[in-house]
Structure 1
Amino acid sequence: MDVLRGFALLGILLVNVQMMAGPQVRPGGVLVASHPDQVVEWLVTALISAKFYLLFSFLFGYSFALQRASAERAGEPFAPRHLRRLICLFLLGLAHGVLLFSGDVLTVYAVLSLVLFALRDTPARTLLRAAAWLVVGTSVCLLAWGAVTVSFGEPLRPQDIASAVETNVAAYRGGPGSVVETHLRSLRTMLGWNIVYGADMLAAFLAGLVAGRRHLLADSGRYRAQMRRIVLWCLPIGLAGGVFMAICRNGPLDARWYDVGSAIGVLTAPLLSAVYVCGLLLLLRTGPGRRVGRALAPAGRMALTNYLGQSLVMALVFTGYGLAWYGRYGTTAVLAGCLFLYVAQLAVSRVLLRHVRYGPAEWLLRTATLARRP
């Protein structure tokens, strides 16, 4: 689990930074997008967007099963522990969303944890069936809205985009008060989308809960043949869905097709996420793969701290909290910086966990869960 979390941190970072860094602009709000930047953005959409938050969500559901088993072994009631945990998670997410990054998912996770708790004793087959319907339902809703937009919407004019960019540039390059005010507006705007995509996250929670009950990750070597088949059969479909989503979101189709692409992406992203998981688990069975696992595991063990740390660093770099570089650099340069940040997190996590057992955010969450110092 720690290795998978450490791997997922990179995908989350590469997606989130594009929101926090903003599109590159010249003075006057004229958008700048070099050909390399367009290619990089297209590839991130096709291969990463909508895949890694599903992996994190799956692991969240898996952890739920482990936490319940831990409470039972300790002879303590699970409900109070879980309630304290989700309250702490919600407050962390609220602070994260208001102060650092309006695209926060921790608050959504906390709310969906209530649903997960209510369904904790539901039979596995029912949970998997519900997960499938949630994914299909989310895709259908997006497809219906996208069809309306394509049929009746007007293509965005360059001046409309430039106006919105100018507003964001001024807000994020302003002082801390301007940044917080912008985050609050964004949180209200994103509420509806959190509800739509929350169903997709819940589906991954349910799949993770079933996997956690069966301890699939504890002895993944037993399922090597099945994992190879998953990679073989799911990779072409998942890639095709990712490519179609990139065509709709990043071109050559215009912005009216965004939600149509998202609908196909939601439907096929679980397949590509499964390919990534199975491919990594198979890799860990090899000599080089074990070295990769040793590099990723410490960062995954303190994944919450690293997730919040990524947002803190990006806020200091791109907003008025620090350097205010919002909109100053293209996607290629920004993602290169993210790779440096990610490698630094791997190194710092490894050093830190030689001296302490938990990262700071994990320690806080565990303290709230246990209602005592760990």
Structure 2
Amino acid sequence: MTLSAAAEPGADDGPVGRAGSAGGAGGAGEGGGERPGARLAQVDALRGFALLGILLVNIGFQASAYHGVGLAEPGFDSPLDGAVRWFVALFFESKFFLLFSFLFGYSFTLQLASAERDGVRFAPRFLRRLTGLFVLGVLHAVLLFSGDILTTYALLGLILFAARRVRPRAAVRTAVILLTVTASLYLLLAAGVFLMGGADVPDAGAAAEAERATQALRGGPGSVIGQHLAELSEFVFALIFLQAPASLAAFFLGLAAGRARALGDLARHRATLVRLQWAGFTVGLLGAGVYAWGNLADAGDAFQILAIGIDLLTAPLLSAAYGATVLRLTQGRFGRRTVALLGPVGSMTLTGYLTQSLVCALLFTGYGAGLVGRVPPAGVLAIALALFAAQVVASRWWLRRYRSGPVEWALRAWTTLSVPPLRREAQDGRPGRGAWTRPGGCG
């Protein structure tokens, strides 16, 4: 089963953390440098954009059990249905979890700096944070969506913690080695399958399994949970051999960028952002085309494995191009609008990610409407866009009244073993409606 974009959207306890930057439309340091304790609003905007990509991919797995085994849902074979599948596979699948992974690594450096600034021990706090993420991930996987990656991020976070003193160049080299070795293994496997004749016909048993899963997901809560538990082994395989190495590589790239505070002074790195756009929208997009063809064109097992290997090498480029584009938008003519649109939902992504799974569970499983397998791809895409639009509005409303999202607040309380303030207060002591860009920060 392909798990292409489930991601851990809350690398910190909601807001990207303290260490942001001075000035700029999105808080980016147009004047250069970062001011300790300030917010990185442009990173919140990037998180918000990534959350949209996560939703557009994950909802496909929740709306169709056939999607999870690499088959098209029976009855939805119109040109529009095919176009939507190609659109999501080409531009979104396997791209957006890398953005969150990168931001996890980046935020890790902010958390380190915050602990040093506040004079607190970092290790106990960070390990409690990882424990909290792991527990949330287990509950999420069992109750709502078996494609959870919070648990994986919590475990990979231990490696990041152990490597916290690595130098930026060594971190980049480690990331390149991880991606290259993993991709090489897929390329070798593809060659082996090809030489052995491969299985170039669809697995008849996959369709039967998908139909059985569909009926189970339409059942009651016990049936839904049972199906989630049955799917975990397949998702775990995809996580260990595909997403975990790629996520860890992105962790290290984020760690290197965080050490350099690269996102705090975007004007200084404009040339790098442009180069990332050129590389991503050429080489990265070509690799995405190979990936989409391998997954949708029934080209045979060998080619599908080959496509995954190529995607491991090129998806980071396209992800970087997306990120560079959003970051440049936050610094340009429409910077304030971009931050105002994406920033609020991006500053409470853990709440947003879990809410997406909850809403989709209520729509597509027996928890609620039981629409799994009954909505065409175009309808699924429309639902995703409507849900994200509602999250944008709700997040803005919430953060005018509260300092952080509810799940972020709970995770921070566990992390710090304290009861952090939640509701905003105006300067005169009355309940306030302050701008969302000034929440209490994450420690």
Same fold at TM > 0.5: yes
Which deviates further from its counterpart, 100-109 or 207-216? 207-216
Question: Residue 24 of structure 2 corresponds to which residue in structure 1?
Answer: none
8 Å CA contact 1:139, 1:266 repeated in 2? yes
Give, in angstroms, the shift of residue 22 of structure 1.
0.3
Q: Letter of the 1:7 partner, please give it.
A: F
Range moving further from structure 2, 145-154 or 238-247:
145-154
Q: Show the counterpart of 1:229.
A: 275
2:371 is paired with a residue whose SS is coil
Out of 387, 391, 398, the position equivalent to 1:352 is 398
Aligned residue runs from structure 1 range 196-215, under 5 A: 196=241, 197-215=243-261
Tell me how far 1:238 sits from its aligned partner: 0.4
**Cα offset, 1:264, TM superposition:** 0.8
Question: 1:172 aligns to what?
Answer: 217
Please name the residue that 1:301 is paired with.
347
Aligned to 1:272: 318
CA separation in 1, counterparts of 2:389 and 2:157?
Answer: 31
Unaligned runs of 5+ in 1: none
CA distance in 2, matches of 1:338, 1:366: 29
- In structure 2, the residue corresponding to 1:217 is in which secondary structure? helix
Runs of 4+ in 1 over 6 A off after TM superposition: none
Asked if the contact 1:238/1:269 (under 8 Å) is kept, the reply is yes
Q: TM-score, normalised by structure 1?
A: 0.95
Say if 2:41 is the partner of 1:41: no
Output the CA distance in 1 between the equivalents of 2:110 and 2:352. 22
| One-letter amino acid matched to 1:288 | F
Deviation string, structure 1 residues 129-166 (Cα, Å, up to 9, x no partner)? 01001011121222233333444332344743431221
Equivalent residue for 1:88, pick from 115, 132, 153: 132
Which residue number in structure 1 is paired with residue 262 of structure 2? 216
Considering Cα pairs closer than 8 Å and 6+ residues apart, tell me whether 1 or 2 has the greater RCO. 1
Letter in 2 for 1:286: G
- Equivalent residues of 1:41, 1:331 under 8 A apart: yes
Cα offsets for 1:161-198 (capped at 9, x unmatched) = 43122111111101111111111111122222211220
**1:280: how far off?**
1.2
Structure 2 SS opposite 1:152:
coil
Equivalent pairs counted in the alignment come to 371
- Please name the residue that 2:205 is paired with: 160
CA deviation map 1:276-327 (0-9, x unaligned) = 1111111122222420221100001000000000000000000011000000
**Unpaired runs of at least 5, structure 2:** 1-42, 68-72, 421-443
For residues 167 and 295 of structure 1, what CA distance do their matches in structure 2 show?
A: 41
Q: Which residue of structure 1 aligns with residue 58 of structure 2?
A: 16
CA distance in structure 1 between the aligned counterparts of 2:134 and 2:211, rounded to whole angstroms: 32
Is the partner of 1:33 in helix, strand or coil? Answer: coil
Distance (Å, rounded) in 1 between the aligned partners of 2:95 and 2:211: 30
In 2, are the aligned partners of 1:23 and 1:330 still within 8 Å (CA)?
Answer: no
Corresponding residue number in structure 2 for 1:118: 162
Q: Quick check: 1:66 aligned with 2:110?
A: yes
| TM-score, scaled relative to structure 2 | 0.81
Task: State the partner residue of 1:2.
Answer: 44
User: Does structure 2 retain, via aligned residues, the 8 Å contact 1:31–1:162?
Assistant: no
Question: Paired residue for 1:189?
Answer: 234
Q: 2-side partners of 1:293 and 1:186: how far apart? A: 38
Distance change (3 Å), C-alpha of 1:353 and 1:258: same
Q: Does the 8 Å contact 2:66/2:207 carry over to 1? A: no
Give the aligned CA root-mean-square deviation in angstroms.
Answer: 1.7
Give 1 or 2: higher helix fraction. Answer: 1
How far does residue 75 in structure 1 lie from its aligned partner after superposition?
0.6
The aligned amino acid for 1:173 is: R
- CA offset at residue 229 of structure 1? 2.2
Question: Which letter does structure 1 place at the counterpart of 2:177?
Answer: W
Aligned equivalent of 1:322, options 362, 368, 375: 368
Read off the aligned partner of 2:208 and give its amino acid letter: S
> Retained in 1: the 8 A contact 2:198–2:300?
no
- Distance across 1 between alignment mates of 2:199 and 2:272: 47
Residue of structure 2 in register with 1:286 after alignment: 332
Q: Secondary structure at the match of 2:334?
A: helix
